[in-house]
Amino acid sequence: MTRTSAVAMVAVAALCGCGPGASRDGGSNVELLPHGTPELSLGFSADAPTTTYVSVDQFELATTTQIRVVADFANVETVGAERLDLYGPNGNLWYTTVIPFTGATGSDRAVTALPDGSLRAIYVLEVAGTPIETYQMTGAWRAAATLDGTATAVSRTFELR
């Protein structure tokens, strides 16, 4: 590693609070890769997404059982987590969760490594048989994802009709 790239890594680590000696209570737990700053993209799918998938932003309440919120993270190590906030059509917070990059397997969440080295976190929002279906919670929903303790964040909406 060159001195310039080492200095750049330290500068990025200092900005996000994730370098050596970072605090567990307020600092980040994310370890950055030396070849770039963290990147985050967010999408939605009715089915389990494959390595490459096309995000959709409209779902029919009558035929949708689940909506998968898919967050892809590039240039991060497996130490860290995603914070996901879901807002209902009325704009109120519906659900918040933290999905750790390691040990996040379960019926409603999983994190996998993609062939390019990026990480994919998937949260499954149940629709069928839930208050969403019962109370016809149609309209624009918003998902907001944040990379553990950093300024890396993204927000995106989907329509449930």
Given pLDDT bands bounded at 50, 70 and 90, which one contains residue 140? Answer: very high
pTM as predicted: 0.74
H or E segment at 42?
Answer: strand 39-45
For 118, list phi and psi in degrees, rounded to 5: -80, 165
Distance CA 72, CA 103 (A): 17
The CA distance from 86 to 144, in Å, is 7
Total length of the chain: 161
Residue pair 44/68 in contact by the 8 Å Cβ criterion: yes
Do 159 and 59 touch, CB atoms closer than 8 A? yes
Report the phi/psi class of residue 46: left, alpha or beta, with left for phi > 0 and alpha for psi in -120 to 50.
Answer: alpha
pLDDT mean over 92-98: 95
Of the candidate CATH numbers 3.90.420.10, 3.40.50.300, 1.20.1090.10, 2.60.40.2550, the domain formed by 36-160 belongs to 2.60.40.2550
| pLDDT for 146 beyond 80 | yes
pLDDT (mean) for 62-66: 95
Percent of the chain with pLDDT over 70: 76
Residue 43 backbone dihedrals phi, psi, to 5 degrees = -150, 180
Domain coordinates in residue numbering, the chain: 36-160
Query: Which residues on neighbouring strands pair with residue 81, listed in sequence order?
Result: 100
Of 123 and 4, the structure prediction assigns the larger pLDDT to 123
